[in-house]
């Protein structure tokens, strides 16, 4: 009975452990241009890459993104943009990026991908002439080490009535997450599965 309980706990814990690790990315600053043809960003600084934080007034690199065309709603009131022709890229600069990736070139492409499915453009708040929007969606692409990953991004953008009518906005902060299991976690998962198989074998053989 005790073995069955242990096996059940392992079966529940191992899949959770396999997805426990991931990559968190933060970007701040920069601006966007928005029209019915799509949204594109310029000059947003990479300020955090999975626990590595840039010193105040500095950046680790750049984050840039583009969307496809507007498919519903409007730029001013909020709506939905297509993922067709979109992009999402993270570039690292400096010695830390070279050490992280093992590449000698500088800058280094840390992630290169695009949006998948519809991209939500939401008017989150309005106070007088001040407007706050969120751009959110699913992204997929390749990390610097060749792994293909899928995650989500939410970009918070502020503007004013006058600016948004001209398609101008400013990025306050962006948060992106990739739930990427690390190789060590896969090793733990494999070891656990082997252990479970051995226990089942001994039980069936009556050892």
- pLDDT reported for residue 202: 53
Same domain? 15 vs 88: no
**More confidently predicted of 118 and 13:** 118
Same domain? 5 vs 62: no
Q: How many CB atoms lie within 10 A of CB 81?
A: 27
Same domain? 94 vs 111: yes
Same domain? 79 vs 117: yes
- pLDDT reported for residue 181: 63
Same domain? 4 vs 60: no
Owning domain of residue 112: 23-180
- pLDDT reported for residue 182: 52
Question: Phi/psi zone of residue 83: left (φ > 0), alpha (ψ -120 to 50 degrees), beta?
Answer: alpha
Same domain? 118 vs 70: yes
pLDDT digits (tens, 9 = 90+) for 133-188: 999 999 999 999 999 999 999 999 999 999 999 999 999 999 999 997 655 444 44
Same domain? 85 vs 115: yes
Same domain? 128 vs 65: yes
Same domain? 170 vs 190: no
pTM of the model as a whole = 0.79
How many structural domains compose the chain?
A: 2
pLDDT digits (tens, 9 = 90+) for 82-116: 999 999 999 999 999 999 999 988 999 999 999 99
Average pLDDT over residues 65-90: 98
Same domain? 194 vs 152: no
- pLDDT reported for residue 105: 87
pLDDT of residue 189 exceeding 80 = no
Average pLDDT over residues 1-23: 49
Same domain? 37 vs 88: yes
Same domain? 17 vs 49: no
What average pLDDT does the structure give for the chain?
85
């Amino acid at each position: 009975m005790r073995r069955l309980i242990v096996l059940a706990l392992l079966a529940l814990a191992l899949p959770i452990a396999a997805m426990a690790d991931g990559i968190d990315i933060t970007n701040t600053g920069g601006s966007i241009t928005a029209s019915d043809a799509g949204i594109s960003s310029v000059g947003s600084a990479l300020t955090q890459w999975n626990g590595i934080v840039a010193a105040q007034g500095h950046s680790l690199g750049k984050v840039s993104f583009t969307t496809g065309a507007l498919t519903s709603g409007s730029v001013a009131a909020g709506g939905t943009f297509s993922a067709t022709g979109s992009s999402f890229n993270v570039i690292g600069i400096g010695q830390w990026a070279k050490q992280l990736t093992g590449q000698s070139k500088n800058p280094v492409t840390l992630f290169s991908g695009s949006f998948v499915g519809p991209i939500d453009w939401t008017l989150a708040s309005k106070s007088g002439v001040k407007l706050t929007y969120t751009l959110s969606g699913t992204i997929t692409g390749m990390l610097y080490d060749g792994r293909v990953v899928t995650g989500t991004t939410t970009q918070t953008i502020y503007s004013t009535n006058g600016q948004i009518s001209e398609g101008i906005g400013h990025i306050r902060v962006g948060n992106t997450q990739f739930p990427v299991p690390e190789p060590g976690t896969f090793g733990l998962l494999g070891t656990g599965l082997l252990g479970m198989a051995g226990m089942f074998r001994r039980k069936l053989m009556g050892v």
